[in-house]
Structures are given as structure tokens and as C-alpha cells.
Amino acid sequence: MEDMRENRTFTNIGNSFGFVCRIIEKQCGIQQLGALEKYEFAELLKILNGTEKFLASKFFCQLPANVGSFRVLRQLQELRILTATQYIFSKEDSDQLQVDLIIFLESEYDLLANVFFSAAYDAESAMKLTLILTTALGNLYSGLVSNPKICSLAYVEFLCKTLPDEALNVCINMHLSTLLDLHRSENVDEAFASFSAWINEGVDELTFVKHLCDKVIFS
């Protein structure tokens, strides 16, 4: 019976599937596409059936990161073939995971929003996603402490406009927790007092904290 099910699965794979996988890999090597090329790629992906979409998502996750990988991932997400959250989980045990998330924070806001959305609404994966995201935020902010100009934090405004209220509250809590952890205080009251001072004084090396809090809390 199991062999019959397996045979039925593979009979659902069309002759063009290998061609589509080659195009996906080729697309990952192209940083930007024109509107027509993007449309044609999307139309090609739409011909895949359910089994092929699943296998195509697995194929994409196994490809090495390239200049167009996240552009392709955005299209896969738009077509509900593969979400950013599913992609992140595929990299869970890889050193590439945090590198990818830093890129999300710097420029791939649609992908980032999907991960925060899942952290808020996917009860089964919420704790794991929270740990992954707060680690990424901590890595980014540790760099910003020494050089506040390395990231514009433009993703914050995007998330504030994009996420529903419940997901945004989860997002804000992650940010506040990460910022407080940066201060490393044994006394919670002292940590909050220092946090307030950061906001009010805008100390040079921590200007990003004031900037971030202004955006997250008051947007």
C-alpha cells in the first residue's frame, strides 16, 4: 500500500518539473528582474501542482544563498509556495540562519514581516521563532552600539504599518526585551531607569536606541 501511495505521488510530477527547478536556480543568480521577466517567472511557477510546489520549495531551500535568492523567495511567498518562516526553519541548524535574518532586517522587510507574523500566531512555533528573532535583533543591535549608522532601522516603520495589532505587540515586546538585555543589569528597576535615560538623553553611542524606541513605541 505504501508503494502505491509513493507511486501516485511521483506520477503527479510533470515532465516540466526539472526545467522549472533549473529556472529557479538560475533566477537565484540574477539580482534584479524587469517587470516582464518577473511576470513570466511567476506564471511558470503557477503551472506547478501541489506536489510539485512542495518539492520545488524543498529544492529552493537546499540551494546556496545567491544574489537573487531572496527576490525568488519573495515570489515563492507571494504564490504561497514557500514562506519566509518555512525557509528560516529549513536553515535552523545552519550558520547561514542568522546571516539571512540580518539581511531580512536590513532590506527584506516583506520576508521579515512574515516571520514576526508567524511568531505571533503560530502557537506551535512561537517560542522557537521568538528565540531566533531576538538572537538576530541582539546581533544587529550589538553592531549598532558601536556604529549606529550601519543600519537605518527602516524595517521598524514597515512592520508598524504592516503587522496587525497583536503581532505588532509581540514584535514590540521582542524589541524591548532585546534592548534591555543589551544593558545587562542585575536589577530590573535599574534596567528600566537606564532604558528611560537612553530615550531621554540620546547618548551618542546609543542614539539608535532612542531612534528605535521612537519608531516602535510611538508609531
- Domain membership flag for residue 91: no
Q: What is the pLDDT of residue 141?
A: 80
Spatial distance between the Cα atoms of 188 and 209, rounded to a whole number of angstroms: 18
78 Cα distance to chain centroid: 14
Contact call for residues 175 and 134 (beta carbons, < 8 A): no
**Among 65, 46, 49, CA closest to 104:** 65
Q: Which of 82, 105, 138 is the last residue of a domain?
A: 82
How far is residue 132 from each of residues 27, 58, 85, 209, measured CA to CA in Å? 28, 21, 11, 21
Spatial distance between the Cα atoms of 28 and 38, rounded to a whole number of angstroms: 12
HSE-CB for 181 with a 13 A CA cutoff: 13
Identify whether residues 190 and 160 lie together within a single domain.
Answer: yes
pLDDT tens, per residue, the chain with 219 residues: 545 454 445 568 888 999 999 999 999 999 999 999 999 999 999 999 999 999 999 999 999 999 999 999 999 999 999 999 999 999 988 889 999 999 999 999 999 999 999 999 999 999 999 999 999 998 888 777 666 666 778 898 899 899 999 999 999 899 888 877 776 544 545 545 555 554 454 444 445 555 566 666 555
Identify whether residues 125 and 211 lie together within a single domain.
Answer: yes
pTM of the model: 0.81
Domain ranges, residue 147 = 96-219
- Domain membership flag for residue 19: yes
Domain count for the chain, please give it: 2
- Domain membership flag for residue 87: no
